[in-house]
Amino acid sequence: MIKELLGYLRPHRLVLFVGALLGLIGSAAGLAMPLLAKYVVDAFGQDRSMAGPLIGLSAAVVIGAVVSAGGSYLMERTGEGVVLGARRKLVDQMLRLKVADVDRLKPGDLLSRVTGDTTLLRSVLTNGVVNSVSSAFMLVGAIVMMAVMDGVLLLITLLVIVVIGGLTGMVMPKIQRAQKHAQEAVGEMGAVLDRALQSYRTVKASGAEEREIGSVADAAERARDRGLQVAGWTSLAGVATWMAVQVAFLCVLAVGGSRVAAGTLEVSALIAFLLYLFYLVAPIGQIVEGAVQLQQGLAAMRRIKEIEELPGEPVAKLLPPEDPTPLGVTFEDVVFRYGEDRPLVHDGVTFEVPPGGLTALVGPSGAGKSTIFALLERFYEHQSGTITLGGTRIEDWPLAELRAALGYVEQDAPVLAGTLRENLLFAAQEATEEEVLRAVARTRLDDLVARLPEGLETPVGHRGVLLSGGERQRVAIARALLRRPRLLLLDEATSQLDAVNELRLREVIAEVAKETTVLVIAHRLSTVTNADRIVVMEAGGVRAIGTHAELVGGDELYRELAATQFLVR
């Protein structure tokens, strides 16, 4: 784990080395000070000129300050570089994850891993590692100096420090565990907050503000409690360090004092020794702090690795298919469930859609219609049975080619921030102006474009809030059409359109269906009465297939569905 953690530093090793070197020089200047102070004291006692030692002392102060400042800037720089590198890598992986994994993970928690956990890496890798190295140097230097001063006093000091240091080491795993819980609690809070913000209108309309505030506050409190646990263990480690030095100080004072009284030790040597002893406080403190940060960094890295270790999908730019011929689809005895412990969604689904034409999927809610699309896009893998697209099993299609061949309009057709044009070109960057205008006209978006102040260049707001629900759907359809799909999947695409637009869109779909295969999931049968075939699904299976006229005559469920929508009398 520590090796992996250090891996983040590899690209920055040169800057880090220079920074560490400056830190060491700063420490060396610091180390020289007690010795110079001893000369000042000696010069004072022996009536010698103090100019030399004083100049040396001043130079050590100035050099120490300048060099340390430069070193710490370089460290911060490295820290920012480490965070950037970790974020890039994590985001890169996040967008390669499988839909199935992202559905399972909470977006708010994922967000906190990118923003929060990566930040934690910074302190451990820069301050933590570097301060520990320079502190270790300080520590060894001070100990050497102390050995030169007096071996016995050093022995007493080390004994005390080793005993208390050993006890401190025992709390480190506890800090790591508490820190992991603390980060999880922060992630959890992000998830709760994300839920509230995603359903903001529903929260307002339900008067659920206080309840949601309470949920977020609860999560924040849990994060605080976990944070307090970390703080508790950390303070314990800090107190132990402080105690170690104080106890050592008292012991040295007692033993050293008596030896000064007996005349076996000079006062100046005892003063310098005690100064060195207090010099130990900072490096020991920093080493302990470094160890604490290491625990925090390891906890954060574990959360980052959890995502990085999930299997990703190969990603590739989807180019419009070279061969635009429509594709047929077959489902043969397909069995699928969303998870081992979940009920079957498809229990032997069998149907066939020949290339071209309009096929509608209808059936009660929860029958598994949207799941058909999820399997075709290979967001999920079916457990058994065969799905073919254009005569080839879908698992034999290269993923990018498969997705490039499909146009997909999901139920809540998302519109992204940016301009209308950017939204249209999202799936087909290379489309020409003529193609864009044609898609706009086909989806009857030309009225909208004419109305917008800047036409296609008008920003549509975060999640397309500046557009109506119907407009958002038509934008999504235009986006899918621009890729010239060989199979167009429309999920409830017409449910939010007004009567006039719905009629127009029905014409558009009929027109598109002449060029390519169109598979529509529809609740409103009025949009599919002219379909070439209708697949009626019920409880994970296909119940009947036929045209509207055939099904009204031959299928009870379909007749019922049609009757409730006044399609038959």
Q: Which residues bind ligand ATP (CB under 6 A)?
A: 103, 338, 342, 345, 365-371
Least distance in angstroms from the C-beta of 485 to ligand ATP: 20
- Nearer to ligand ATP among residue 294 and residue 361 (C-beta): 361
- Coil, strand or helix: which one is 94? helix
- Nearer to ligand ATP among residue 440 and residue 528 (C-beta): 528
Rounded to the nearest 10°, the torsion over CA 557, 562, 566, 567 is: -140
| Structure-block tokens of residue 259 | 């030896």
Task: State how far the Cα of 536 lies from the Cα of 555, in Å rounded to an integer.
Answer: 9
Find all residues with CB under 8 Å of 217, minimum gap 6, and list them.
none
Least distance in angstroms from the C-beta of 526 to ligand ATP: 16
Distances (CA, A) of 506 to 139, 298, 410, 518, 530: 79, 57, 17, 12, 9
- Nearer to ligand ATP among residue 419 and residue 496 (C-beta): 496
* Count of beta carbons in the 10 Å neighbourhood of residue 139: 20
| Structure-block tokens of residue 511 | 């027109």
- Nearer to ligand ATP among residue 369 and residue 533 (C-beta): 369
- Coil, strand or helix: which one is 518? strand
Is the Cβ–Cβ distance between 481 and 330 less than 8 Å?
A: no
Least distance in angstroms from the C-beta of 358 to ligand ATP: 18
- Nearer to ligand ATP among residue 350 and residue 419 (C-beta): 350
Task: List beta partners, residue 490.
Answer: 409, 520
Q: Which helix (H) or strand (E) segment is 538 a member of?
A: strand 533-538
Least distance in angstroms from the C-beta of 169 to ligand ATP: 46
- Nearer to ligand ATP among residue 53 and residue 540 (C-beta): 540
Least distance in angstroms from the C-beta of 348 to ligand ATP: 15
DSSP assignment of 291-348: HHHHHHHHHHHHHHHHHHTS-B------PPPSS-----EEEEEEEEESSTTSPEEEEE
- Nearer to ligand ATP among residue 85 and residue 363 (C-beta): 363
Tokens 């044609």 sit on residue: 438
**Phi-psi group of 43: left, alpha or beta (phi > 0 → left; psi -120 to 50 → alpha; rest → beta):** alpha
Is the Cβ–Cβ distance between 194 and 114 less than 8 Å?
A: no
Task: State how far the Cα of 543 lies from the Cα of 551, in Å rounded to an integer.
Answer: 11
Least distance in angstroms from the C-beta of 364 to ligand ATP: 7
Task: State how far the Cα of 211 lies from the Cα of 200, in Å rounded to an integer.
Answer: 13
Task: State how far the Cα of 117 lies from the Cα of 121, in Å rounded to an integer.
Answer: 7
- Nearer to ligand ATP among residue 150 and residue 555 (C-beta): 555
Least distance in angstroms from the C-beta of 535 to ligand ATP: 11
Least distance in angstroms from the C-beta of 412 to ligand ATP: 11
- Nearer to ligand ATP among residue 365 and residue 564 (C-beta): 365
Least distance in angstroms from the C-beta of 98 to ligand ATP: 12
- Nearer to ligand ATP among residue 466 and residue 567 (C-beta): 567
* Count of beta carbons in the 10 Å neighbourhood of residue 28: 17
* Count of beta carbons in the 10 Å neighbourhood of residue 201: 8
Least distance in angstroms from the C-beta of 369 to ligand ATP: 4
